[in-house]
Structure 1
Amino acid sequence: MLTYKVTVSTGLEVIAEETNSIYLTLINSKDQSSERVLVNKSYFADLKREISLNIHVEEDFGDIVLVKLEKEKHFVNIKWFCEHIKVQTPSEKCFEFPCQCWIEDEKPVFIREGTAGLPQDDPGFLKEKRQKELKSRRDRFRWTEWRQGFPKSIDGETLPPEVKKNKDFDLNIGKAKVYSIVKRLKEFIPSWRDLEIFEKILKEFNINTVEKVMQDWSKDYMFGYQFLNGCNPVMIGKCMDIPDKFPVTHEMVEGFLERGVTLQEELKAGNIYIVDYEILEGVPTSSDQLYLTAPVCLLYKNRSDQIVPIAIQLSQNPGEKKSPIFLPSDNEHDWMLAKMWVKSADFLVHQLVTHLLKTHLISEVFEMAMHRQLSAVHPVYKLLKPHVRFTIAINAEAREKLISEGGVFSQISSLNGDGITKVIQNAMDTLTYESLCFPETIEARGMKDVPNYYYRDDGKKIWEAIHSFVSAVVKIYYVSDETVQRDGEIQDFVKDVSHGMNNSNKFPQSLKTRKGLVKYLTVVIFNASAQHAAVNFGQFDWYSWIPNGPSTMRKPPPEQKGQVDMKYIMESLPDHLRFYKVLGTFWVLSQFQEKEIFLGTYPEMCFTEQPVKEAIKTFQKKLDEVTNIIKSRNEGLPFDYCYLSPDKIPNSVAI
């Protein structure tokens, strides 16, 4: 009689085991099964436990390639979590079976031995099991179009167990903190008198960046700095020619050009930049008492290497009587309000396009396609799984609580469901695969050389570290370009992503080379980790000071100069209720989760092969180097830029 020693690591689910029986069976490389053994329930730990089993066979059973788990309910059907299984053979060989899955129903679950493999390399019966696994997943992960023009998302009210989030996203935590501060200050007044009340409330949070924003928000250098390193550092681009719709002349801006040359010469020298919110043109507001514009802003790199605004037009249609061009030489209130209108437009585009669409929604498409088309034993599934963790779940909650009709975003902004949909539809017209590639986006906007662009500098380092790591992993499993082409699962994955993006002609339909696969996977990981961190975790820093990024405007934009004062500006700002909801919402969104998992950290260890483990160590070492470089750089800056420090980048879009 020979003995196979089995160790099952599981979560502590006492009720599940009292009301269900969990059985385990070993399957060898000849598709032969051992006896079925009841999982032992004798040892308990505080958070998780290991269960030891002995399975006896009469003769050598050989290598183990599958473990079958079955659950039989006694009274009620309760889910059971399996983390990891190890099997030691009589000859001391050890096989690992990474599981990390919930078993909810009474259907058997087959767990593959942990060595990653491509579909073309599987023997017959394993290939069949692999295809059944994917068919089952496609039945559970079904595409739907939540709103017309959005990328596709998951269908169904009940999420599959493997993507559920243990703790729901709760805005009430943020609201409670804000309410307690406001209550202590006893400042409930019907309308804003001045900016002092904002300052009193925010000082209670005691955040350095917020205090610096409060001090300098109205200064031109601070306005320009945020286009480089604020919440939305992706809108600014180099301007080589002034567009016809924005008829700025040299005479208008001559007094702000410090080098003593013409506007045309400054354009040729690469010192002029532009931010254009054309995407908001024609977007309906939720009320005729709330307003938005589609402004255009011209910026200048001065001799101090600061980016400062030199001209603002609050619409896409020029005209001195309806849409004048505001200048720094205008009176204080005209110029202040013009900049606030730009920041309000930037808030909307940041929230719906830069943040929601280009990190949350596109990451869900990648996650959906991964579950639908890649077996759990596929190396790309193992590579991507940590970087799409909880994304489907957090997006499902966002659709229910944040961007639904009457949800939080409609409550704090000027847009209802129709307006939100229109902005996403406009953005989808320009969403391409290339627009998700970090180096290409920097190049396309002409932003390779602008100074003090820390988002670009740090993002480039992170992109290169991820790219190098992905390249090392891909080379382990794909010996040639032909191997990529023969991998039916990876080709189906890419095709399914294209389908899910809802504009399939703008995304690859297949991948032909290892180089192309490496870049594609780098896009997935970078946008789910670094890009999301860059545009998410600074929201309270930059938006809590409401005049710096008004979520809506309650007065129409001025159509002539010299007609606004501070009272008009205060009455334009969001009301008290919107202000408190903005603070509560962005306080929550800017916090890391409990037990956050940061970039390069893989506690589940989906990979069992030593070469991949070595690649992970190299990746972690590189990320540590980047963290130290950023920390050293920040010591000499008036504003720390930490949003792309690897030790502050979560692995996935999970908040």
Structure 2
Amino acid sequence: MGKVMEAFCLKNKEKSINNNMAVSGGSSKIRGEVVLMKKNVMDFTDIRASFTDRIFELLGKGVSMQLISKNQPEPAENGLIKRGRLGKVAYLEKWVSTITSTTAGETTFTISMDWENSMGVPEALLVKNHHHSQFYLKTITLENIPEHGRLHFVCNSWVYPARYYKYNRIFFPNKAYLPSQTPELLLPYREEELKNLRGSGSRKLKEWDRVYDYATYNDLGSPDDGPENARPVLGGSQYPYPRRGKTGRKPTKTDPDSESRLALLNLNIYVPRDERFSHVKFSDFIAYFLKSLAQVLLPELRSLCDKTINEFDTFEDVFNLYDGCIELPNGPTLKKIRDCIPWELFKELVRSDGERFLKFPLPDVINKDRSAWRTDEEFAREMLAGVSPVNIARLQEFPPTSKLDPDVYGNQNSSIREEHIEKNMDDLTVEQAMQWNRLFILDHHDALMPYLRRINSTNTKTYATRTLLFLKEDGTLKPLAIELSLPHPQGDHHGADGKVFTPAPKGSKRIEDSVWQLAKAYVAVNDSGYHQLISHWLNTHAVIEPFVIATNRQLSVLHPIHKLLQPHFRDTMNINALARHILINAGGVLERTVFPAKFSMEMSSAIYKNWVFTEQALPADLLKRGMAVPDPNGLQGLRLVIEDYPFAVDGLEIWSAIETWVTEYCSCYYKTDDKVHSDTELQSWWTELRNEGHGDKKEEPWWPEMQTRDELIQSCTIIIWVASALHAAVNFGQYPYAGFLPNRPTVSRRFMPEAGTDEYAELESNPDLAFLKTITSQFNTLLGISLIEILSRHSTDEVYLGQTDNPEWISDDKPRAAFKKFGETLMEIEKRIDKRNKDEKYKNRVGPVKVPYTLLYPSTSDTKREGGLTGRGIPNSVSI
């Protein structure tokens, strides 16, 4: 070992002497800096891996790099020019002697590379890892390249030992090339890299594989554990669905069409390694995941529920979740919990005072006023500025009609009539109110009715709801009527069995107000489930994943559209894989906490049948819902029918900024429409996206043809909008509004009580207790709050819209200038949002609960890059 160390030191001494010196024979010495992160586990350096890699270094098995020329070819058989010539092998310097952080972090190494000047300019780099362990290669910066100057590589990739690959790892600098403009000698490297990412075969994929491929949602059920744990495969003609990332796991024994699942505590679900959470984000996520999981796995936690098992007895019991009065038990139970879970989780449960258990943060909706959430004004306002502001629509026909097949479901049209609502419409008739755009509807009837009979065969007891609202002169909404409908007891073909409830007039009996409060709760149950399954999961998480896969399979990292979209795909495949594992799977957290239960994902498949890509554009969505009308003088050519509609007002400004940025960016590379339809990679990307990623919708006529620059701009704008702003609007307000579950209950367990029953008498004598017995149980409340606390938290390493984690993400000046302008525009929008929130004339922006609408704050300043329950900020991607 002493001789090896002596040889090693001599080698480094020679390198030091030659540092920055020209090499004879028409060669140059290119110096570079390499930023990487060594293999780590959670927050701690993997000591064993580090020691082993140092031994490998001493034995001459280091990290090698070779530059690739774009001007001079490799010698080829038969004289054919195939690919750029490789430069001399060089190794990272001082791996052994460089001191790295005791926690996971970046380390900078130097490298010195000999380059023959006759080979021209290098524009690719071959990297080989001869170590025992993988590392994360972040950037490579080379200086003083002859006839070029500086060259920067944005790598952001895990490099495993070379023995794991059947191909070479190639990296390209931050230059963008259309396929037709790529230097000829680089084309083979570009094409082979895409081929490697597509993979081949059906084997189980390993963590070092870099394969992006498609699969159906056939991994949600566990049929080997019994028929009650089986779930239908989503994807195909019967249950259409977007595709998800392939893992290649073997099928189950019971059902060959279903993929086997990993053990619940095994979070090592395959996604391409570069798509996995950073160590910082994974550390954040795992702490809160374990906290939530403990509530599912440990029966001891059920015993913590107070005097009435699994029920809240008073609202004070609910408030105690935040005031910290559910105490951790002492004695054997405490020891058993301590022995069952990791120490870090135990500390999280005990919290800092060492006594209290499950003290949740106080949700914004009850922070200033603990009863304002009950008001009709707040109930309606949250349809415009809450966590689910994307479902309200202008009423365009009265009575509301159904689109369900009458041959199957009979008459499903609404039973709401003029006499139910005109008494509260400021002396307007229904016809006048509709003509003046004063009537609105939150309609969950058609989405739920086909599943309601099966849903209500479980412990759930709920309705399909329609809610009519009236726009008052002050710009706020007030509810007029709520229709609660059930399938007809004599069969579906007999139509709906509906009842209409209206607000209790002033001076009415207490019981009438209690009935109205319950009616609003059933609406909230519908809206909470629809929001979580459709507005949130399906319309952001699920529909974006095929774009992630297709982009990596068909668009080279050199492609300008890859560079444009890639930041908006960060962590999406990883969070979706975790969702399939613990949230949307059979018996998962979502099935336990939302009313459709085991039918949740099947129901989302039925609603996906109506998904239209072009309608995901905010202007198109607002027009479809009747929340805006064409106006050539308005922003995006629209005029909102509710001037104070915070989601739409802020959203249109964000949409416009994204569209302007995308237009300026795409115009740098596509001067004409011809450049779009002649771009081979772009056409393959769009074809695969339609035929594979969203293959169940491939025959739809609404897909853009992708033949013009306008179609490209509109499509990319939609993708970025959905992945960033739309997801932020429907996700990060979950805890502020739904963290107090009575405001947005997710399950109802009893039907509306009928006069003369014991339940009605209880509602009359103790309305709070009757309300709490109707909505989500105590245990599921704890579970549901834990879930949305995780989902509502920003990671501490989040990158927000208008920000980048590398200012040298692209070398071209014009796109960088346009991106800087985009960030500045978002900062101005944020100032305008803040100003609107402080303007008292906009009553919907704060409301009775005194919660300003901040979900579409871009948070573009680095000083605002904070983690936690901020209730503000638009991350670049669907990352949680």
TM-score (norm 1): 0.93
For 1:387-536, what aligned pairs fall within 5 Å after superposition? Answer: 387-417=568-598, 419-447=599-627, 448-498=640-690, 499-501=692-694, 502-506=696-700, 508=703, 510-536=705-731
Q: 1:288 aligns with which of 431, 454, 458?
A: 458
Contact 1:366 1:497 in 2 (8 A): yes
Identify if the C-alpha distance between structure 1 residues 286 and 85 changes in structure 2 by more than 3 Å, giving closer, same or farther. Answer: farther
How far 1:274 moved relative to its partner? 0.9
Identify if the C-alpha distance between structure 1 residues 150 and 203 changes in structure 2 by more than 3 Å, giving closer, same or farther. Answer: farther
Measure, in 2, the Cα distance between the counterparts of 1:446 and 1:224.
17
Measure, in 2, the Cα distance between the counterparts of 1:127 and 1:286.
59
Measure, in 2, the Cα distance between the counterparts of 1:280 and 1:286.
11
Contact 2:117 2:146 in 1 (8 A): no
**2:403 aligned with 1:228:** no
Q: 1:381 aligns with which of 546, 552, 562?
A: 562
**2:485 aligned with 1:315:** yes
Identify if the C-alpha distance between structure 1 residues 504 and 98 changes in structure 2 by more than 3 Å, giving closer, same or farther. Answer: same
How far 1:321 moved relative to its partner? 11
Measure, in 2, the Cα distance between the counterparts of 1:588 and 1:208.
16
Mean Cα deviation higher: 8-17 or 439-448? 8-17
**Residue type at the aligned position of 2:126:** K
Structure-2 residue corresponding to 1:142? 213
Contact 2:544 2:723 in 1 (8 A): yes
* Deviations 1:475-519, CA, capped at 9 Å, x for gaps: 111111100111111112122222312322346263111111111
Identify if the C-alpha distance between structure 1 residues 10 and 288 changes in structure 2 by more than 3 Å, giving closer, same or farther. Answer: closer
Contact 2:174 2:811 in 1 (8 A): yes
Contact 1:290 1:552 in 2 (8 A): yes
Contact 2:363 2:739 in 1 (8 A): no
**Residue type at the aligned position of 1:449:** V
Structure-2 residue corresponding to 1:218? 374
* Deviations 1:401-433, CA, capped at 9 Å, x for gaps: 11110111112223334x112221121111001
**2:780 aligned with 1:587:** no
Mean Cα deviation higher: 290-299 or 14-23? 14-23
Identify if the C-alpha distance between structure 1 residues 461 and 316 changes in structure 2 by more than 3 Å, giving closer, same or farther. Answer: farther
For 1:123-138, what aligned pairs fall within 5 Å after superposition? Answer: 123-138=183-198
Structure-2 residue corresponding to 1:568? 770
For 1:241-280, what aligned pairs fall within 5 Å after superposition? Answer: 241-242=397-398, 243-244=400-401, 245-258=413-426, 260-277=427-444, 278-280=446-448
Contact 2:415 2:498 in 1 (8 A): no
* Deviations 1:58-99, CA, capped at 9 Å, x for gaps: 5543201111001224xx4x2122111222324562222221
Stretches of structure 2 lacking an aligned partner (at least 5 in a row): 1-23, 40-49, 73-83, 200-210, 218-232, 235-239, 248-268, 325-360, 402-412, 489-493, 506-511, 628-639, 840-845, 860-872
Measure, in 2, the Cα distance between the counterparts of 1:57 and 1:176.
55
Measure, in 2, the Cα distance between the counterparts of 1:124 and 1:102.
28
Structure-2 residue corresponding to 1:324? 499
Measure, in 2, the Cα distance between the counterparts of 1:635 and 1:390.
35
How far 1:650 moved relative to its partner? 0.9
Contact 1:534 1:644 in 2 (8 A): yes
Structure-2 residue corresponding to 1:541? 736
Measure, in 2, the Cα distance between the counterparts of 1:58 and 1:422.
62
Structure-2 residue corresponding to 1:199? 319
**2:272 aligned with 1:160:** yes
Shift >6 Å, 4+ stretches: 176-179, 316-321, 559-563
Mean Cα deviation higher: 583-592 or 386-395? 583-592
Structure whose CA Rg is larger: 2
Number of aligned positions between the proteins: 648
Structure-2 residue corresponding to 1:350? 531
Measure, in 2, the Cα distance between the counterparts of 1:559 and 1:105.
70
**2:420 aligned with 1:240:** no
* Deviations 1:604-638, CA, capped at 9 Å, x for gaps: 34212221111111011001101111112212344
Identify if the C-alpha distance between structure 1 residues 475 and 287 changes in structure 2 by more than 3 Å, giving closer, same or farther. Answer: same
* Deviations 1:364-406, CA, capped at 9 Å, x for gaps: 1111111111101111111111111010001000100111101
How far 1:286 moved relative to its partner? 8.1
The SS at the match of 1:547 is coil
Mean Cα deviation higher: 49-58 or 575-584? 49-58
Identify if the C-alpha distance between structure 1 residues 320 and 67 changes in structure 2 by more than 3 Å, giving closer, same or farther. Answer: closer
Structure-2 residue corresponding to 1:43? 98
How far 1:216 moved relative to its partner? 1.7
The SS at the match of 1:261 is coil
Contact 2:127 2:169 in 1 (8 A): yes
**Residue type at the aligned position of 1:161:** R
How far 1:261 moved relative to its partner? 2.1
**Residue type at the aligned position of 2:62:** S
Identify if the C-alpha distance between structure 1 residues 612 and 585 changes in structure 2 by more than 3 Å, giving closer, same or farther. Answer: same
How far 1:600 moved relative to its partner? 1.0
Identify if the C-alpha distance between structure 1 residues 503 and 287 changes in structure 2 by more than 3 Å, giving closer, same or farther. Answer: same
Structure-1 residue corresponding to 2:130? 72
Structure-2 residue corresponding to 1:112? 172
Measure, in 1, the Cα distance between the counterparts of 2:606 and 2:106.
48
The SS at the match of 1:642 is coil
Contact 2:363 2:740 in 1 (8 A): no
Stretches of structure 1 lacking an aligned partner (at least 5 in a row): none
Contact 1:249 1:263 in 2 (8 A): no
**2:802 aligned with 1:600:** yes
Q: 2:64 aligns with which of 8, 15, 23?
A: 23
The SS at the match of 1:324 is strand
Structure-2 residue corresponding to 1:122? 182
Measure, in 2, the Cα distance between the counterparts of 1:134 and 1:464.
33
Give the RMSD, CA atoms, in angstroms: 2.6
Measure, in 2, the Cα distance between the counterparts of 1:610 and 1:16.
43
**Residue type at the aligned position of 1:500:** G
Measure, in 1, the Cα distance between the counterparts of 2:735 and 2:272.
32
Identify if the C-alpha distance between structure 1 residues 510 and 488 changes in structure 2 by more than 3 Å, giving closer, same or farther. Answer: farther
How far 1:590 moved relative to its partner? 1.0
Measure, in 2, the Cα distance between the counterparts of 1:289 and 1:404.
19
Structure-1 residue corresponding to 2:826? 623
Measure, in 2, the Cα distance between the counterparts of 1:144 and 1:350.
25
Contact 2:462 2:749 in 1 (8 A): no
**Residue type at the aligned position of 1:311:** A
Identify if the C-alpha distance between structure 1 residues 398 and 320 changes in structure 2 by more than 3 Å, giving closer, same or farther. Answer: closer
* Deviations 1:515-551, CA, capped at 9 Å, x for gaps: 1111111111111111111000111111122222111
Measure, in 2, the Cα distance between the counterparts of 1:361 and 1:16.
41
Comparing both chains, which one has the higher relative contact order based on Cα–Cα distances under 8 Å and sequence gaps of 6 or more? Answer: 1
Measure, in 1, the Cα distance between the counterparts of 2:161 and 2:597.
40
How far 1:569 moved relative to its partner? 2.6
**Residue type at the aligned position of 1:587:** E
Measure, in 1, the Cα distance between the counterparts of 2:740 and 2:669.
50
How far 1:355 moved relative to its partner? 0.2
The SS at the match of 1:304 is coil
Measure, in 2, the Cα distance between the counterparts of 1:160 and 1:7.
26
Identify if the C-alpha distance between structure 1 residues 630 and 486 changes in structure 2 by more than 3 Å, giving closer, same or farther. Answer: same
How far 1:45 moved relative to its partner? 4.7
Contact 1:221 1:307 in 2 (8 A): yes
Structure-2 residue corresponding to 1:53? 111
Measure, in 1, the Cα distance between the counterparts of 2:307 and 2:160.
50
Contact 1:174 1:585 in 2 (8 A): no
Structure-1 residue corresponding to 2:242? 151
How far 1:122 moved relative to its partner? 2.0
Q: 1:359 aligns with which of 530, 537, 540?
A: 540
**Residue type at the aligned position of 2:570:** R
